[in-house]
Amino acid sequence: MLIPDDNLAAWTGHWLTVACGCGRKVHVPVKLLVREHGPAASLPALVARMRCKSCNGRVADATMTANPQAGAVGYAAGFPFSGTRERA
């Protein structure tokens, strides 16, 4: 998984959507992560430590979404983590 080297402060107001290989997907508000880990916490490091609550697997894919409640499935509004380094 390839993600930018950002800290949480750069993404406040967004939601982190993480998906597991088992099909489970969760939306986590970045402001909640900031409250738990602080604004300087590394986003890639946090994602790397996350585990699926269903199968205990690692995160298979992570995207930033402006507002998953309004856009429903829409990844289009978010910044895609996957592949950013590959295309660079």
Contacts to Zn ion by CB under 5 A: 20, 22, 24, 52, 54-55, 57
Question: Judged by CB, which is closer to Zn ion: 57, or 74?
Answer: 57
Judged by beta carbon, residue 18 or residue 33, the one nearer Zn ion is 18
CB of 48 to Zn ion, least distance (A): 15
In this complex, which beta carbon is closest to Zn ion, that of residue 3 or of residue 52?
52
Half-sphere exposure of 28 (CA within 13 A, CB side): 21
